[in-house]
A and B are shown apart, each in its own frame.
Chain A
Amino acid sequence: MSHRIISLLLGIGIVMSLLLMAGRFGGARVPANQQGYEPVQPIAYSHRLHAGELQIDCQYCHVAASTSRHAGIPSGSICMNCHKQVKATFGVVRQEDEAATAEKRPRRDVMSPELRKLFTDLGLDPSKDLKEQQVTQTVAWTRVHRLPDYVYFDHRAHVNAGVSCQTCHGPVETMERMRQHASLSMGWCVNCHRDATKNGINGKRVNASIDCSVCHY
């Protein structure tokens, strides 16, 4: 009798778990795959404008990509290298200039609302001269690319081997808002490593190992 109960309970357990799993795989997605993740950021920073239109080099802001494991998210002081001067888009500034000339009045300071947010977040007072002030705070960005804790990815090794940023991060120069382009799953990494060992990177022979301990330790 008791054996029947066990078999019955086990059967129910297995069916239930299969049902649950079937539900999960409806979207055909590995757990924790964040591909396409595009969170709203506290400041509407545009990679399209900076990297695409203005053609600022990625490593101007992400300073450590070729020297450290982390590419680094730029500190407020790096933003302020330019934005001490640049407080609004060129169009808005010119419009104000033209209006001031037409109305024969002194030119008013124009400031884009997003940059105003940046200045406030960095602990600066937008109503005063920015050149006189020190950055005292930092912006709490929402993280887009995140690997699990048991994966170690080193930007240096990839950047110095000639892998372009876009290979993993996608067409960043066209993204108004940052989006996770690739799946960043292990299979995706391993396929690229296999391909690089076989075909090289930009014609250069590389040894992209697929040992577990290359990433997991």
Chain B
Amino acid sequence: MKHPHPNHWRGLEEWEDPTSVREQAETEFIDTPLRIGAEPGRRDFLKATGFLVAASSFTACSRPPEEKALPPVVQLEGDVPGKSYRYATVCGACPSACGIVAKVRDGRPIKLEGNPAHPLTRGGLCATGQASILSLYDSHRVQLPRSAGKESSWDEADSRIAEALSAARQNSGAVRVLSSTLTSPTLLRQIASFVSAFPDGKHVVADPVSASAILDAHERTHGVRRLPHYQLGKAEVVASFDADFLGSWIATTEFTRGYTESRLAEQAPRKAAWHTQVEARYTVSGGKADERIKVAPWEVSATLEHLVAKLASLSGKAFVPGSAAPAADVMAAIDRLAQRLWNARGKSLVLYGANEIAGQQLANFANELLGNYGSTLDLSLPSLQRQGSDRDLAQLLAEVAGGKVAVLFVLGMNPVADLPLSDATRQAFERIPMLVTLAPREDETAAIAKIHCPDSDPFESWGDAEPVAGLVSVQQPLILPLDKSRPALESFAKWAGKPASAYELVQAHWRESIHPRAASAVPFETFWHKALHDGFAEVKSNLPVAGAFATGAVTPLGKQAAATAMLQLYVKPGMLDGALAYNPWLQELPDPVTKATWDNYASISPAKAKELGVKNGDIVRVAVGDTALELPALVQAGQHDALVAVALGYGRKISARFQDFGPKWIDHRATTGANGLVGVNAASLLSMEGNTLSYLRPGVTLATTGKRQALAVTQSHHTLSVPENLDPGGPPRPIVQEVYLSEPETFPAHDPEDVPELWPPDHPYPGHRWGMAIDLDACTGCSACVVACQIENNVPVVGKDEVMRKREMHWIRIDRYYSGDVENPSSAHQPMLCQHCENAPCETVCPVLATVHSSEGLSQQVYNRCIGTRYCANNCPYKVRRFNWFNYPREDKLANLLLNPDVTVRSRGVMEKCSFCIQRIQEAKISAKQEGRELKDGDVVTACQQSCPANAIVFGDMNNPESKVSKWVKNPRRYRVLEEINVRPSVHYLKIVKRSGEKPGEEHHG
């Protein structure tokens, strides 16, 4: 082999042939339209010259058009135009109900941020939550009630519903409300009182991504149907069996914060933090784990059972596993894991991801044996973030199929697309005499609904949330409703015959039921205003006490037949269950693991791909029983050979809007697939066996089809490399660096800061000197920062075709590198943004001085000076500059209300890049000046830093020795990427801490 395998690699291509990837990286910026095909000809040259002459002459000829200036009608006291105000409220993107702070500028909410005071997330906000603000400004939202597909009015809709309800009351017809988990106590009570008015009324809660088995298992082992509140922050040893708690499982933002806090390498005494992940699919958590045990998909529960047996024997109890023992090496790993868990009794956590009651009971038993209940799992103040019951759902589906349901209300769910409905059941849904959906958009269920009563956006209406028992939040409106939608709370009040406004309903419920639970006796008004101001209030729980652990409830698993192949349906971080499939930010967000955008795919292992002879993008036919789907294949390192994984949440009707997405030009390829939608809906492959929604299906077969659908995978884009001639035959550049815990207690300090300089320092930095530090050990790759930056800085979405041309515009990207064993690699996530180099290579090559160094250490990009030569991007060693090839779509006037008025909207032909959120720096500096004080550390918080659930980013003034960033820079783990080329970046990284293994030898020298 000419070149050795690299230590860290970005994809399997690079593992196999690093040289070709390096060569490709060197020509990355050369593909201009003029070079495709033939050499640039005389005609091209003439065209370009003519265009330039004409354009430069004409642009100089115009006076700006006359513009109107409209002052506000009434100047409200305390409302200053052009100033941003922040209001605490609740995120409505998923049932995690994280606390957020919304930034409202001139009456419009324009940015969501995590609420730093919120006890669960403490400041972070995931990509989905960040992106959910677009929902408010979505011009495709249903404006008015619709009946049978035609626009109607609220009066007509209400009277038709009232008729149906009174008929149901007289004939004892079944009235059902089907919703996903609702965290709003007021809405839950409203629905409960609504359905109780009917002889046969019921509220069925079911989640498309169900955690029903966890609740059911606790009902059997503890006598209460509850989801424990997992406290990752208290857990030193975590054993996760296919629960992707850092990616998409239950409340990832909270889990990520707790996980990184309990693993901080610098805390003294250093904790024995450890994370083992047992899985077949390659997840975010698996890549991050200290030890990843790859097992066949059907062996995950068996491995858990054998762990339970080990723990039982350690605690002197007897438990005989019923399943066959996994392979010897897995058993050895399980032995070690059991010992680790046992040593950390009460400070450990066993998680099980599959929606399968028997396995969940084993996990409960493991946690009980380890004494974790009451410390790392809280059942007395349980999580209310997943309440769905698969049994209730199965019963409802049976009722619908049997034609028993007279009136069905659907809220926060899209059963036609979310559930594996047979044709008969789907037809039965269509036959329901009164099917009402409250979906905000025209989804699959709305298409068959008799009446569509659009729910308001969370930012338009009052509401509340109780994500964890005893923690309540008020959701306050930030803007008057933009259309004639009506909050679900008001709709149910109206249909119950007691119309009231959402504000009255929420306040009444708080007065009656929440305020009496307050810990200290304060008047209601004080309590309410404090909760409104802080964004949350802590109250006492009103739940009965959980029972003692019933050991008898745990039964060994049966012998499982080894399958040959299994299908796993999962949800991607960001896209989740698909309710936000209309959201271009989330569609274009690279998946943290596969780096794929704009599609779902059948993820298969490299060996399986070789066996089938398929490459990325070859369409394969995935069949389980009679159901089959055709999906492009994606080869995923680290995945078990017997597993095929397909993401749910795609192929949604609400993604039909992307059919014409992206700039139109000669070569334009559609963003949507053959079905006119983004991706393929895989919900039909789910199963409802034994009253449980099952995401794992045995007996899957794969077949090639000979067709292709290219995937927009950003894995190989913007590859960092150094030209060979700088270091011929040298070792691969350590772009991601690691330290080993086996090394001495304090990590060896990195090589000294200063390389001798020939020249006197160019930049004295008399005032501030901005810098950033990123802790790679904390970063999980969740990509919240990517979306936060995109919203803050008006970064456009370009569409699938442009992404395939490596033209995605994200100012901050997360490079994912694999390392270790190619069969079972671990992954490192490196957020990569403009490094604001002191000796910036981009600045020296700009012919028009459009990018220059500021006196505070920023590499400034001046859009109005830029003429688009792209020399700077070509010369950037970090590949972080983004070129506007087009005027990206800004046609949607409503969506434009979301643009940040503090950041220029860039036009075609202009280079752009991370500015260190200069608008926030300026704002903080001027505010400090206005208040007559010095700028403090922490006054400037960049958008990426704010959103990071792992607290992995700090930003500040490096001239201030007391600033957080200065302290991080003194950390012995600090290094700078591509340090040896002496561009002296202002972004510092902290090395990854390897908790397992020894530092590898120097065998990689070529």
Contact = CB atoms under 8 A, between A and B. Distances in A.
B922 A216 contact: no
16 contacts: A14-B53, A17-B53, A20-B60, A73-B71, A75-B72, A135-B74, A136-B73, A137-B73, A138-B72, A139-B71, A148-B864, A150-B904, A211-B856, A212-B852, A216-B904, A217-B919
A72 B71 contact: yes
B49 A10 contact: yes
Interface in A1-22: 2, 6, 9-10, 13-14, 16-17, 20-21
A211 B73 contact: no
B73 A17 contact: no
A188 interface: no
A63 B75 contact: yes
A32 B63 contact: yes
A209 B855 contact: yes
Nearest to A12: B53
Given A74-B75, A139-B71, A160 B930 contact: yes
Given A139-B71, A157-B926, A216-B864, 8 more contacts: A6-B45, A17-B53, A17-B56, A72-B82, A152-B919, A211-B855, A211-B860, A213-B922
Given A24-B61, A72-B71, A150-B864, A217 B82 contact: no
B183 to A, nearest CB: 37
A64 B82 contact: yes
B124 to A, nearest CB: 26
B160 interface: no
A176 to B, nearest CB: 19
Interface of B: 42, 45-46, 49-50, 53, 56-57, 59-64, 66-75, 80-83, 767, 852, 854-856, 858, 860, 862-864, 902-905, 915, 918-919, 922, 926, 929-930
A34 B926 CA distance: 28
B848 to A, nearest CB: 12
Interface residues on A, range: 35 or more
Contacts, number: 148
Contacts of A107: none
A75 B80 contact: no
Contacts of B80: 63-64, 67-68, 72
B75 A70 contact: no
Given A157-B926, A160-B929, A212 B860 contact: yes
Given A135-B73, A160-B929, A209-B855, A34 B82 contact: no
Interface in A25-69: 31-32, 34, 39, 63-64, 66-69
A211 B62 CA distance: 29
A78 B75 contact: yes
Contacts of A95: none
A150 B63 CA distance: 17
A67 B918 contact: no
* Residue among A17, A69, A138 with max Cβ neighbours from chain B (10 Å): A69
* Residue among A76, A143, A150 with max Cβ neighbours from chain B (10 Å): A150
A143 B63 contact: no
Given A6-B42, A78-B75, A211-B856, A146 B57 contact: no
A138 B903 contact: no
Contacts of B82: 64, 68-70, 72
A122 B922 CA distance: 36
Given A13-B50, A217-B918, A156 B860 contact: no
Contacts of A148: 864
B59 A31 contact: yes
A209 B767 CA distance: 11
The 4 closest A-B pairs by CB, nearest first: A70-B82, A75-B75, A143-B69, A211-B854
A39 B858 CA distance: 40
Contacts of B864: 148, 150-151, 216
A89 interface: no
Contacts of B75: 63, 72, 74-75, 77-78
Contacts of A141: 68-71
B60 A214 contact: no
A97 interface: no
Contacts of B926: 154, 156-157
Interface string A109-139: 0000000000000000000000000111111
